[in-house]
Amino acid sequence: MKNAKKFSLIILMALLICVVSLVGCDTTGDTPNVTITLVFDTIPAPPTDVTSISLIVSGPDLETVSATIPAATGTVTIDVPAGDARTFSVSAETSLSPDKVYEGESVANLSPGIPVEVPITMIAKYTSEGSIESPVEIPLNNLYMGRVGKGKSYYHTTGTGTMVFSIQVDALEDDADIIDYETDSTYTSQVQKTATGREVRETISKGGWSGDLYFAIDGSGTDYHTQNEGTAYTIYIESNNGTLVGPNSNQGSIGDPYTIPLIPPGWLYFGMCGSDPGGISYYQATVRAGTPYLFNTSGGVTQRVYSDQFVTEVLSFPYTPSGNSVYISADGNNSMFQIMITTNEGSISDPVYLFTEKTNYAEVGDSSSYYLFEVTSGNSYDISVTGTNGDVDLFVFDDIDFTNQVGSSETVGVGLDETVSSLTATTNLFGLRIDNKTADATIFIITVAQE
């Protein structure tokens, strides 16, 4: 009898072991497939400056798991032991590292054997440069590549008393401002500060300035793209007496077009043509595939747009490119001109967020652009659209669906302002729709100022 009981106990233990192994002890079932997908702003793949991406997975009962994510795709599938509070930390090195990196993190609970997708939003993080004690020296008439974090970067230059003397900050990846301290090397007495919204050129003009000039780039407002912490940019300090150095010359050629450094919104480039050979300049511009664009060239030159490298001319506008480049020729003997490329911004379902008390440069293509401003209910605001090269109409709404119109301005005529004054907010937002009344590429400035 004792042997029978012993035999029965062995069988029971064996059965229990089998059941346990089926439901929980199979280690392969405890490591579900996890697909990591990185999100860089609205870009479907990592930016071209990303050189390497590393992933670390940690948890309270987990030995750290490390992996490499391909920089070309920004996605990887790995096996991670099941459990709660699995933390996925990603760091992306760039060509500017350590001055610029991307970082992101996400936490997920993993069930045994169940595949899961974990999207991770990547944040661009920059380090500021220069200091109050040792600012970066910026030469005149030379392009400098700069950067700022969420604080300030400090700079110094020396004016030579020329008629034209201006500080131009361009190619911004997010909003930043210039602070002018003039001769104050302690950077405490602010003389002026730019307030241009979005990733649009910031400029301070100080014609005739001679001697020390101290200025800073303020990155504390880099919140247009909320996932960024700082921005990169170019600084160009123009110093001359208002005359061109030498005659105009052609820019680019058919085989080697000049790349236009266009920065939306309101893509605007100042170009030139020489007199020989033929007085034609050739350009290449980067655009978004599948997006309709309008093209203007001012200054009396003949503009032609091509879908390829100056072979197939585009004859109907708006033009929706199938690739990410368009080619433009400008024919104007010994001329200076402006090239403008615009498209519609935002939509009813996905408007562009802008800021009050800022100079918001904006654009419209062949129909309408949509914007949202956060305001304070009960306060009154003046809303204006100025600086346009075309004819636009302004419509104001107080709901996110752009259905409840509370104001409008429909002045007829090219280059005329549109204004809605003393509009009291009854909600916490204003939605703006800007309609293009012409067939031309059109830019403008939106301001929403509290009274």
Q: Which residues of the chain have pLDDT under 70?
A: 1-29, 41-44, 222-227, 242-248, 261-267, 276-277
Sequence-separated (6 or more) residues with CB below 8 Å from residue 114: 32
Q: Output the furthest CA–CA distance in the chain (Å, rounded).
A: 114
Count CB-CB contacts under 10 A for residue 258. Answer: 17
CA distance 364 to 108: 41
Instruction: Tell the burial category of 449 from Cβ atoms under 10 Å away from its Cβ (0-12, 13-18, 19+).
Output: exposed
Cα angle 154, 160, 161 (rounded to 5 degrees) comes to: 115
The confidence score (pLDDT) of residue 225 equals 55
> Of 268, 286, 320, nearest to 445 (Cα)?
268
Which stretch of DSSP H or E encloses residue 10?
helix 2-20
Residues forming CATH 2.60.120.380 domain(s) in the chain: 136-240, 258-342, 352-450
CA distance 229 to 146: 14
**What's the CATH class of domain 27-123?**
mainly beta
Judge contact between 334 and 281, C-beta under 8 A. no
DSSP 8-state secondary structure symbol assigned to residue 25: I
**What's the half-sphere exposure (Cβ side, CA atoms, 13 Å) at 138?**
30
CA distance 378 to 431: 16
Rg (the chain; Cα; Å): 29
In which region does residue 439 sit, left (phi positive, over 0), alpha (psi from -120 to 50) or beta (all else)?
alpha
> Of 323, 303, 322, nearest to 313 (Cα)?
303
CATH (residue range 258-342): 2.60.120.380
User: Residue for token digits 């304070």?
Assistant: 376
pLDDT digits (tens, 9 = 90+) for 62-111: 999 999 999 988 999 999 999 999 999 999 999 888 888 989 999 999 99
Count CB-CB contacts under 10 A for residue 111. Answer: 12
- Architecture category of domain 352-450 in CATH: Sandwich (2.60)
Cis peptide before 70 (omega within 30 of 0): no
The confidence score (pLDDT) of residue 162 equals 86
Sequence-separated (6 or more) residues with CB below 8 Å from residue 79: 31, 32, 33, 34
Strands 392-397 and 405-409: antiparallel
pLDDT digits (tens, 9 = 90+) for 122-164: 888 899 999 999 999 999 988 898 999 989 999 999 999 988 7
The confidence score (pLDDT) of residue 14 equals 33
Mean pLDDT score of the chain = 85
CA distance 310 to 257: 10
Q: How far does Cα 396 stand from its chain's mean position?
A: 25
- Residue 97 in 3-state DSSP? coil
Strands 258-259 and 280-286: parallel
| Bridge partners for 214 per DSSP | 156, 182
136-240: which CATH topology?
Answer: Jelly Rolls (2.60.120)
Residues forming CATH 2.60.40.1120 domain(s) in the chain: 27-123
